[in-house]
């Protein structure tokens, strides 16, 4: 017998199943639009559902917020997530691990690739000002950071990784329309494997962004995926862990 841990969404009272969803329909803002939104909500399984907010977006689109009851529940005992398998280290501990393993500075090359111009993610990890009260990788004495910025072509990133003899390539992807982050990542991995055949010291490939699934690293062919909210200390700790496992030094 399984140890089931069923939970339902909470709205007004415990386990009432109430949820709020938002979406845009390609229809002018009128009464028919609201009817279409309610019909869509019903097909989503929300019963009863009510439109609590609408706003026209130009002449041909309407944005909706819908509130309703979902009949579905979740069994927590069946949830699988990517657990952090390495300890969080202080900057001093990371520096010591790198110095002990590499006997030189760890080189990290970072960028936003493709058409992505949103550097807030990569800057939060790399720049010394950091994120969430933590200093970025530039703060670590034993890490050399090369931040290429935004809209970097994949070939250019791979070239810079080769030129700087990178130990790790960090990529941030915020633009995700039509799964651009997945397409770009697969293209990067393919190019990296072509440039660094097996046994030639390929840098770690680490990607991050708000819509990445941390459990999909193997599927995408990268070494690590970091989701939203990741702090510089977590990335630094991972790199130190990889060093200790001889992943980079090999």
pLDDT digits (tens, 9 = 90+) for 71-121: 999 998 888 777 788 889 999 999 999 999 999 999 999 999 988 888 999
Report whether 185 contacts 211 (CB < 8 A). Answer: no
User: Mean pLDDT score of the chain, rounded to an integer?
Assistant: 91
The whole model's pTM is what?
Answer: 0.76
Is 129 among the catalytic positions?
Answer: yes
CA separation for the pair 242, 250 (Å, rounded): 10
Residue with tokens 């130009």: 58
* Residue 53 confidence (pLDDT): 96
Report how far apart the first and last C-alpha atoms of the chain are (Å, whole number): 46
Report whether 98 contacts 82 (CB < 8 A). Answer: no
User: What is the 8-class DSSP label of residue 128?
Assistant: T
* Residue 247 confidence (pLDDT): 47
Q: For 103-114, give the secondary structure using H, E and C.
A: CCCEEEEEEEEC
Residue with tokens 């960028």: 111
Selecting among 105, 129, 135, 144, the annotated active-site residue is: 129
Q: State how beta strands 143-147 and 168-172 pair.
A: unpaired
Give pLDDT < 50 ranges for the chain. 1, 247-250
Q: Cα-flanking dihedrals φ and ψ of residue 190, to 5°?
A: -60, -45
pLDDT in tens, 208-227: 998 899 989 999 999 999 98
């Amino acid at each position: 017998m399984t140890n089931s841990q069923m939970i339902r969404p909470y709205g007004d009272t415990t386990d009432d199943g109430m949820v709020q969803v938002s979406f845009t329909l390609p229809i002018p803002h009128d009464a028919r639009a609201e009817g279409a939104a309610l019909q869509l909500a019903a097909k989503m399984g929300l019963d009863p559902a009510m439109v609590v907010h609408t706003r026209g977006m130009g002449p041909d689109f309407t944005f909706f917020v819908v509130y309703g009851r979902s009949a579905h529940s979740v069994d927590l005992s069946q949830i699988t997530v990517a657990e952090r398998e390495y300890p969080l280290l202080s900057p001093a501990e990371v520096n010591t691990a790198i110095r002990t393993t590499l006997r030189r500075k760890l080189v990290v090359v970072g960028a936003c690739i493709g058409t992505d111009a949103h550097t807030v993610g990569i800057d939060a990890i790399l720049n010394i000002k950091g994120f969430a009260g933590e200093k970025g990788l530039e703060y670590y004495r034993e890490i050399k950071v090369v931040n290429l910025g935004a809209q970097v072509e994949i070939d250019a990133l791979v070239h810079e990784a080769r030129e700087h003899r990178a130990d790790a390539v960090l990529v941030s992807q915020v633009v995700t329309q039509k799964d651009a982050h997945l397409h770009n990542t697969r293209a990067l991995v393919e190019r990296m494997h072509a440039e660094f055949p097996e046994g030639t010291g390929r840098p770690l490939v680490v990607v991050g962004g708000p819509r990445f699934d941390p459990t999909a690293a193997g599927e995408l062919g990268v070494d690590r995926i970091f989701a939203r909210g990741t702090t510089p200390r977590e990335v630094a700790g991972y790199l130190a862990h990889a060093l200790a496992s001889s992943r980079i030094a090999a």
